[in-house]
Every structure is written in C-alpha cells, then in structure tokens.
Amino acid sequence: MSALQDQIALVTGASRGIGRAIALALAEAGAHVAINYRSHDGEAEEVAAAIRQAGGSASLHRADVADQSAVDALVERIVAERGRLDIAVTNACFSDREPFYDADMDGFHRTLDVTMWGAFYTLRAASRAMIARRRAGDERGGSIVVISSPHAYVPVPRAMAYNMSKAALDQMARTAAIELAEFRIRVNLIHPGWIDTPGERKYASEEQIQRSGEKLPWGRLGQPEEIARGVVFVCDPRSDYMTGSSLLIDGGITLPWWASRGTGVPE
C-alpha cells in the first residue's frame, strides 16, 4: 500500500512550480489531491489531468488564499465532498522585489496577504476541520506542512515583505505545532533553497538563472520534485514523531560557502 493511500490532501498554489510538484507527489503516494489555484487555470487543469492519467485522484479548487472567507469555503467544500481533510500544504506565495523604501505598497501588502495571511488562513481552516473530526470521535489526527524559506532567517535584499512573511510562518508553524499536539495534528516546516520554478523567470533571464545556479555549493538550482519528496516524507504516517520540525532542502545555500572561496562575501 502507498504511504498516503486514501488520504485527502489540500495543496495551495498548486498550478505550477513547487506546488505542482507537491500535488503530483502526494497523488503518487496515494492521496486524493485538492488542487488550489487562483490564476493559471490551464496549468491547474494540466496538473489534475496528469494525476488522473497516472491513476490518481484530484479535484480543482479555485480560490484566493488572501481571502479568509474563500479559504474557509474551500476547506468546507473539500470536507463536504470527501468527508474529511488529512493533509494541508500551505504553499501559495507572492513576491515583488524592490527596496522597501521605494516599494509599491500594493505589491508589499499583496505579498503579506498571500504569503503570510494566506498560509495562516489555510492553517486555521484545515486545523478546525481536523479538530472537528477528532472531537466527533475519529481518532485520526492530521498533517500540515508549511512551505517557508531560508529567507525567514537569511534576508535577501529587495524582498522585505517576503522575508517578513516567511519569518512569520516559522513562528506560526511552531506555535501551531504546540497548540495542535493534543489533537494529534502534526505541523512541520519545509525550507526550500533556490528552486528552478517559473516564478524565478519573473526576476531574471534563463541565462542569469543558470549561471547563478552554477555558483551555488551544489552547482545547480534545486528541482521542485526534490521539495515534493520532502513533503511526502513529512506527511508519511511513519514520520509520526515529527512535529514542529524544519526540513531544510537547499543544496547548501545557507552554508557560509563563499568563505571557503576566500572572498569573504557571496559572489
């Protein structure tokens, strides 16, 4: 039997990049995957089609995670259709890159609304559904995975709102892990390094991305599938003793690798 056979999983921001890979990996492990997206309708449909073609089960759920009522309705719909929610992965994010003192405040607030508040709304709605099931007599708990970033503690310039959001997610997840332990709901963090996703093309050319990747300790950018495998590992019932933990999958980018080159600073 697959590790996550017959479990019901929600992945936010699952139409592309890391979210897409997570949805595919959870489905491969046996879960039904509720694919959340706000835009990129065609790509979301492609993810669902890929899951079904491989023999898996998926459903599409369009909702803006920055809207709390939309997130509440999303989780309620999943529970109504599938009977429960076992896994939730808060992956959706937004980011603009510019100095904070010149930042377009609409973009700044949108980053906080999606990346921080969207994750909180998902965590809250998923937790409430899992707690209600347990209070109704079902002994099963649940697993919630928060996709954070090393920029929670290593700030990247021109991304203050993103850095702030990810730092908040770390404390959010750890606090939730304490408060939800009595309900056997595990909450864990994944910290991806620099991952090769469509979103990176918003800031740099293909040549710039690949050239920068070659300078990293592992000599390349990470792949979304590598993050997805970490999510499956964390959600696996055999990882039951793991809660409030942080899994770093970054190819060594947070190590002081530039010091070993004698420069004292990153290139």
Structure tokens at 182: 């009595």
The position carrying tokens 């809250």 is: 124
Q: Which of 37, 101, 121, 162 is catalytic?
A: 162
- CA atoms of 192 and 166, how far apart (whole Å): 11
162 in catalytic set = yes
CB 144 within 8 A of CB 88: yes
Compute how many other C-beta atoms are within 10 angstroms of the C-beta atom of residue 39: 11
The position carrying tokens 């993050």 is: 227
Whose CA is closest to 228, among 4, 75, 77, 1? 4
Residue 14 backbone dihedrals phi, psi, to 5 degrees: -100, 10
Active site residues: 162
